[in-house]
Every structure is written in C-alpha cells, then in structure tokens.
Chains A and B, each alone.
Chain A
C-alpha cells in the first residue's frame, strides 16, 4: 500500500483564487511527480522534482503554477489564479530513483473544483 499522503482530499475555489495542494512522498523517495487527471480521464504530467530541484515541467506549470519540494516539509503545488479548466484530480507520486524503470507510487489525489 502506497504511503504517499496528499491533502486536502477536496478543495473548492472560485475563479481567480489560489489553490494549494500538498504531498508527503513515501519515506526514502526523493523523486516526486505531479499529474493532473481531468474528467475525461486524460492525464497531464505537470512537474517532477528530485529533492528540491525541478527535473522537468510543462509550460503551463511554469506560467500558472507554483510548485516546490522543500527539505523537511511537504511538497506543494499551487495554482496562482484558478480557472474553470483547472477542475481536476491532482495526483502526486513518488519514486526512489529518477532514472527510467522505477515504479511510481501514487497518493489518493486532491480533487479541485473551480466554480
């Protein structure tokens, strides 16, 4: 059973509001991923970290999201100004290594509804 902890499980925000989600990766896993899963079951990779360093991120994340993984604190993903299209399940995953071939362990997700 995965021990990736995501909070909150649900959040409801108005358009233009900030929305912040947190993730505690599994112990001993320095690599953290964020994915967005929309209502059509489409997954979008957002960003990944190794410890505090960003490995990869998509353009949308760079422009509209603020994400970090500080040492000794939960990782976080924050949408600076929520839009209706941001309504989705945000999944955090962690793995032991950054190179290919590693199993990713997912949390339960944070479901964002933008009204």
Chain B
C-alpha cells in the first residue's frame, strides 16, 4: 500500500479562503517536507519539519510524527497558489531520500 497518503486529492477555493491539506504516512518518519509543484514540473520546497509547527508567510506546517500525520494550512488563498501540493516523508538513515504522496491539486478561483 501507499506509504504517504494525501487528502483531499483536489480542492477548489475562492480567493481569500483558507485551505487545510492533510498528509498521513504508514511508517516511521523523521521529517515531513512540503513541496509546491508548478504546472509544468518544477518542485519548490515550502516547509520542512520533523515535528511541531512551522510558519512561513501564509503557510503553516504541523507534523505529529507519533500519530503519523501532518498538515499544511494555507491562509488567505490567492489565485497564484493554484498548483499541486506534495507531502514527502523522510525515514531515518535514508540519505535524505524522500517518499512522496500523490499530491493535492489546488485551484483558487476569483
């Protein structure tokens, strides 16, 4: 089965609304990393934290490794936030190798 599961698979928001993206993983992870993938390919690292809560701008990442879950909160969404959000877990002694979820496709509309 899939080691990293993200929900929802897709989400449509009106500009200004908040979004909560979920990530559940099936084995012990040392860290979760969130990426944004632009249409066309490139992945941009957003936030990375082993546990607890981390903020940057309008993004908040929360990781509860004991419960094997994490979330990404996007506040006051903007049209330019549209794209795919990927959660990736890192396991101990993995040389920073990441296991990715299948992403949440976010569309922000006016």
Q: Which residues of A contact B (CB under 8 A)?
A: 2, 31, 33, 35, 40-43, 45, 48, 50, 55-56, 89, 91, 93, 95, 97-109, 111
CA distance A93 to B42 in the complex (A): 10
On whether the beta carbons of A56 and B97 are closer than 8 Å, the reply is: yes
**Number of B interface residues in the complex (CB < 8 A):** 28
Known A-B contacts A100-B31, A100-B90, A101-B31; the reply to A111 vs B41 at CB < 8 A is: yes
CA distance A56 to B98 in the complex (A): 12
Contacts of B91 in A (CB 8 A): 100
CA distance A93 to B96 in the complex (A): 11
Contacts of A40 in B (CB 8 A): 102
Interchain residue pairs with CB less than 8 A apart (10): A2-B42, A33-B96, A43-B100, A55-B95, A89-B41, A100-B96, A103-B33, A105-B45, A108-B41, A111-B41
On whether the beta carbons of B84 and A45 are closer than 8 Å, the reply is: no
On whether the beta carbons of B92 and A100 are closer than 8 Å, the reply is: yes
On whether the beta carbons of B41 and A91 are closer than 8 Å, the reply is: yes
- Across chains A and B, which 7 residue pairs bring their CB atoms closest together, nearest first? A43-B100, A109-B41, A106-B43, A108-B42, A41-B102, A98-B95, A102-B96
A16 to chain B, nearest CB (A): 26
Count A-B pairs with CB separation below 8 Å. Answer: 73
CA distance A99 to B31 in the complex (A): 12
Beta-carbon contacts under 8 Å, B7-53 to A: 30-31, 33, 35, 40-45, 48, 50
On whether the beta carbons of B95 and A103 are closer than 8 Å, the reply is: no
Known A-B contacts A40-B102, A41-B84, A43-B100; the reply to A56 vs B45 at CB < 8 A is: no
On whether the beta carbons of B44 and A2 are closer than 8 Å, the reply is: yes
Known A-B contacts A101-B30, A105-B45; the reply to A41 vs B103 at CB < 8 A is: yes
Which single residue of chain B is at the shortest CB-CB distance from A109? B41
On whether the beta carbons of B98 and A104 are closer than 8 Å, the reply is: yes
Contacts of A99 in B (CB 8 A): 95-96
Which single residue of chain B is at the shortest CB-CB distance from A4? B42
CA distance A101 to B96 in the complex (A): 6
